[in-house]
Amino acid sequence: MKLFCVAGVLFFALTALGDPGVSARGDLFKRRTYETFGALSLFVDTAGSDSNACTSSGAGACLTIQGALAKVPQNIHHPVTITVGSGTFGCAYVGGFKFWAPTSASAGAYLFLQGTFATSTVATGTATGTSTAATAPALPTSFGTITDAAQTWTVNDLRGRFVIVGSVRAPIVSNTATVVTYGGAISIGTGAGLAYTIQDAATVMSGTPCDRPASGFVASAGAGNAAMLWISNGADNLYVPSTLTVQGFRFTNATGRAIQLQDGSLQVNECQFITTASPILWDNTPSPGSRLSVDDSVFNLTAGTTGIAQNLTSPGSNILFVNGAVFYGAGIFGINIGPRFALITASSFALTGAAPIAIRLASGEANVQLNRIDCGLVASSTGINVSAVNGFVAGAGVISTDISNCITALSSVNRSAATFGASVTGMANTTALNILTGGRVDIATTTTLTGTTEISLDGTTYTFAALRALVPKQITDATTLSTVREP
């Protein structure tokens, strides 16, 4: 009898160890709680239920994003994809996950929240067609375009949507009746004969935002820091790229934030922020820090809002990458940050709010490359503002960027510094450079940024020609030590 019982237990143990739903930590009598044992695909749908296994779409899916996240083990060793269908979904808290070395390096260990795209409903014309001409991006001079002479689009009705050719999708910067201008540095094709589709993200997050729970992993009721996606994934994941990716979502919540990243790593791809709330608050608590990447996303900013904002009390250990993003509307800041390091590339800024600033760097370092900033001559508008705050130092390198139609193209204030590399261009600015209270700007021989006033140094004006005629080519205010030079 004893022999039979021992044999039975051994058989059960061996069977359980072979079950991918059982933890490999010797916990044979519990379902999977701690870690993945293979790739995991889950689904969320308006026709689903959180009581489902959620491993199929439609009626077999989860009803909520939070319900699907609850089925993901805390320790992720493999690819985990949550596909969210068309429709409107409530807020969710993404926290407590840790990403470990996968069994296969090529497979990766990540959590991917994948939204759904759908063909847009456009005001006039059609959402599909074939190009009669198309040009590739030539930044900073121009973005890429697709022309369809048969179209009758309403001007800028397509702005903030996406155009896709084949498998390449790009955010739309603007449109005329027959021409779409798209953002980013990647060409989606050239010439005639390109079959294209205008799309929107059909996965919408809206409604009452959530807050971080006091304990556990389920979002609590919204409060002062509420957001539709509240993300905190711990210090173990700070600088590992793409461990958590959000792609193909549209945020339309009227209160709170769209996304709040507390710590960890977050990749935002091809999302639409069409909201009366501020879209992204990055790293509300500067310690331990975080990594945020935003690619090919659009920010339609309403009055008083900021596209990407960061806690400015400390630069912490934060890293930001923005590529191919489109910022427009009545917001006050496109990007307002004080990071350890930021790289902002191939993006478009066209804000019309009260005294708007496309990019503000309050501390830390940033490289600004291949961007187009157009202030539209809005009153008190600024293209790039580098202004050290709270006793910190800010420094920006600006390369191959066009800044036009701004009241101030670039402002350097306090102990901040801006360095122009090759091909910084721009026209029709009121003041090209405004340098105050110890700010410093280095320009390059290839700088062709223009303004009615070219250089203002603590209120005293100069021309680039006057600067370049000096030996050495430098002007410094003896009192404030504000400096402009051409090394």
DSSP labels for 32-89? S-SB-SS-EEEEE-TT--TTS---SSGGGSBSSHHHHHTTS-SEE-SEEEEEE-SEEE
Least confident of 67-71, 236-240, 340-344, 450-454: 236-240
Least confident of 74-88, 108-122, 236-250: 236-250
Could you give the CA distance from residue 387 to residue 381 in angstroms, rounded to a whole number?
A: 15
Pairing type for strands 162-165 and 168-175 reads antiparallel
For 67-110, write each residue's pLDDT tens digit.
999 999 988 888 999 999 999 999 999 988 888 765 455 568 89
How far, in Å, are 100, 223, 265, 358 from residue 288 at the CA level? Answer: 19, 23, 12, 27
Output the pLDDT for position 313. 58
How far, in Å, are 12, 96, 372 from residue 56 at the CA level? Answer: 29, 25, 43
Residue 30 — very low, low, confident or very high, per pLDDT cuts 50/70/90? very low
Q: Quick one: what percent of the chain has pLDDT higher than 90?
A: 68
Could you give the CA distance from residue 246 to residue 116 in angstroms, rounded to a whole number?
A: 11
Residue 32 — very low, low, confident or very high, per pLDDT cuts 50/70/90? very low
Tell whether omega for the bond before 472 is within 30 degrees of 0, i.e. cis.
yes
Output the pLDDT for position 422. 84
Pairing type for strands 372-374 and 348-351 reads parallel
Residue 311 is encoded by which pair of tokens? Answer: 């806690």
Least confident of 259-263, 296-300, 340-344, 350-354: 259-263
CB contact at 8 A, 306 and 333? yes
Could you give the CA distance from residue 80 to residue 269 in angstroms, rounded to a whole number?
A: 17
Residue 7 — very low, low, confident or very high, per pLDDT cuts 50/70/90? very low
Q: Is the predicted pLDDT of residue 140 greater than 60, yes or no? A: yes
219: left (phi over 0), alpha (psi -120 to 50) or beta: beta
Which of 16-30, 95-109, 441-455 is predicted most confidently? Answer: 441-455
Residue 295 is encoded by which pair of tokens? Answer: 């690619």
329: left (phi over 0), alpha (psi -120 to 50) or beta: left
The larger pLDDT score, comparing residue 379 to residue 393, is at 379
Output the pLDDT for position 12. 38
CB contact at 8 A, 181 and 227? no
> Taking the model in full, what pTM does it have?
0.90
Residue 116 — very low, low, confident or very high, per pLDDT cuts 50/70/90? very high
235: helix, coil or strand?
helix
Output the pLDDT for position 1. 47
Average pLDDT taken over every residue of the chain: 87
User: For the chain, what are the domain ranges?
Assistant: 119-201, 296-485
Q: 265-290 burial by CB neighbour count: b if 16+ within 10 A, else e?
A: bbbbbbbbbbbebbbbbbbbebebbb
Output the pLDDT for position 106. 56
Which of 213-217, 230-234, 440-444 is predicted most confidently? Answer: 440-444
Q: What DSSP designation does 153 have?
A: P
Output the pLDDT for position 28. 35
Q: Quick one: what percent of the chain has pLDDT higher than 70?
A: 84
Output the pLDDT for position 15. 38
Residue 302 — very low, low, confident or very high, per pLDDT cuts 50/70/90? very high
Residue 217 — very low, low, confident or very high, per pLDDT cuts 50/70/90? low
Residue 277 — very low, low, confident or very high, per pLDDT cuts 50/70/90? confident
For 166-213, write each residue's pLDDT tens digit.
999 999 999 999 999 999 999 999 999 999 999 999 999 999 998 877
Residue 214 — very low, low, confident or very high, per pLDDT cuts 50/70/90? low
